Each structure stands twice: as C-alpha cells, then as structure tokens.
Amino acid sequence: MVEITVTNVEEYQAIAKEKLPKTVYDYYASGAEDQWTLAENRNAFSRILFRPRVLIDVSKIDLTTTVLGFKISMPIMIAPTAMQKMAHPDGEYATARAASAAGTIMTLSSWATSSVEEVASTGPGIRFFQLYVYKDRNVVAQLVRRAERAGFKAIALTVDTPRLGRREADIKNRFTLPSHLTLKNFEGLDLGSMSKAEDSGLANYVAGQIDRSLSWKDVKWLQTITSLPILVKGVITAEDARISVEMGAAGIIVSNHGARQLDYVPATISALEEVVKGAAGRVPVFIDGGIRRGTDVFKALALGASGIFIGRPVVFALASEGEAGVRKVLQMLRDEFELTMALSGCRNLSEITRSHIKTDWDPPIATARL
C-alpha cells in the first residue's frame, strides 16, 4: 500500500470515510437536519481575514497557556466525542495518551466506550469529564464522584441536549452502538447498551435516559455534589453567558454540539464575540466547532477565546492511524498556529488582539488622512 502523506487535518476525514463502516462514519460526520450549521461552522472562519503586523522579532514564540489554573503547552485541547472505539480498537485510551504526550487537555465523553477509570489508567494527564444529566440523579452523582476519584480536573456540563437533534443520517442507518461495545461509564448501572430501533437507537436512548427538565438550578445542584470547576458547554448567546457566570460556572464553552442539535444556529466562531462580551472577563470562554487549521485557532483567540477544542478531527485521525493520527493532528495544528502567530507578529498569546483580524461585522476602519 502506498504511504499517504497527510499534510493537514482535513485530509484525515477522507481516509476515515474509506476505512470506517458507513453507519459509523455517518454518525461522526453528520449534522442535524439540513446541515446548514455544519457547513457554516467551517465557512464562517473563511470570512474572517488577517491584519498582520510586520517587522516584529518573532524568533521566539511561546504557545503555553493556563486553563482553570492548569498549565498546558498550547491553547488547543480535545473536545468530548462519544464512542471512540467505533473508530479504532484503542478508542479513548489512544486519545488520552496522545493528549498527554502533547501536553494538553482531553475531555472524556459521558458516552465513552472506555470508563473514567480506564482512561485514568493510561498515565498522567490533565483530563476533563463531559457530563450528560440523566433522569436518575444518583447515577449522575455517582459518575461525578468516579470522575473526581479518577483524577479528572473539571466537569464540562452539556446544556444543549434536553433532546437529541434530528440527525437524519442516523435515522436512515438506524444507528446504534455496535454490539461488542458498551457505554463503559454506565455498564454497571444497566444503562450501558443501546437497543436497536426503527430510527436512531441513540435518539431513543436519550429520550429514555436524559433529563429534559434540566435547568439553571441544576448547575447550582452540581456544585453541591462536586468541588470540581464546572464549564457550561453549549452556550451561544450573551444572555446565557451572563447567567452562566451568575450561577457560578468556572468557564463557558461556546458550542453548537458540532452542528448536531439545532440547525440554523450561527457558527460558533460567529457567536463567540457576543458570548465573550456577555461573560465580561469574569470567566474564560472557550470554543469548539469547525476548527481545522492553525489559522482558525488564531482567529478564535483574536475574538476573545481563551482556548479551543477539536472534536471530529480527533475521531477521523483515530480511525485513520490510531494514537499516531491523534498525535499528528495536535502537532499539525500546533505548527500551523505557531506559524500564523509568527506571520501576524505575535510572540505569545497575550499579543493576539482583536486588531489582528477583520470580520464582516466590523465597522469600516477609519484611516487617518495623510
């Protein structure tokens, strides 16, 4: 077989499509309904242009940052993506090792095919745990305690999924978790398997288990059962950013769930600045959705993000080359981001400013008369 030289993150998607069963690929790749937001998550980045500054000494560039007090090598982290063993037998183990080797944070999904304990057993690393709130609150409390005991450092509470979005590819494929896999975190609670369905097995699972009554008071409740910082994941408006801060969130993740929930919401990069203004500097704001290039990372930071999370690139690289693929994705994004900083005249993250980019919602720049 001819060795394929992968030169950018996007190329892993085509390789994954070749390698994966259609049902699995479609589950990872698709969005909700018309998939307008799915395309827009990418397209919106292409409408943001650079205003690079020149003749700045960029011989030394520092990408390091701190997230919730934890020092990481770069502002590029791994978002929670479910059921990674469908992509590769090593699944979340490989992702955890790759994140640790890159000196960055991995977020483990509630619906992982490896448990919090198994992921912790891969060795040291800074890890967050993404939480879905089940109807049975004892299940939630138990899971949060297990994540704490396993050394996870924060909870990313998903708030945009009282019901599962209409993912038509999953309906057509009658998607369900392959029978040799389980949702490992729920295995001992008889909640680890997904039954076959006439439509999407996952949608049926969510309808049966996930709490539709979840509200802001539950963010407060979560703080009574854990001392871990809580990131509210799934905020795309200033109003909800303000309430998140008032309710004691430690941070906000601007996310539209990879365009898999409500179609025709804006791209996350288009919503970012509004959320940053709503948070008013009181908590850090992060973003996921559509990030495929180091230039995208820079644009997000210029609009006020403290860091970014990548989801699909991880599962596509995992499907293509296992742990080595995930390592490579992180390295490629790092290298591209560092190059973008150099070519924009920024030596560290604090030098990346709003004036380094131009958006289509900016007022015209007033130029001084000569």
189 CB burial (10 A radius; 0-12, 13-18, 19+)? middle
Residue with tokens 């910082």: 229
- CA separation for the pair 36, 263 (Å, rounded): 6
Strands 70-72 and 65-67: antiparallel
Catalytic residues: 257
- CA separation for the pair 41, 51 (Å, rounded): 22
Find out whether 269 and 292 touch, Cβ atoms under 8 Å: no
Q: What is the H or E stretch that residue 229 is in?
A: none
CB atoms within 10 A of CB 123: 10
- CA separation for the pair 117, 184 (Å, rounded): 10
DSSP codes of every residue in 2-33: PPP---STTHHHHHHHHHS-HHHHHHHH--ST
Find out whether 249 and 230 touch, Cβ atoms under 8 Å: yes
Find out whether 129 and 119 touch, Cβ atoms under 8 Å: no
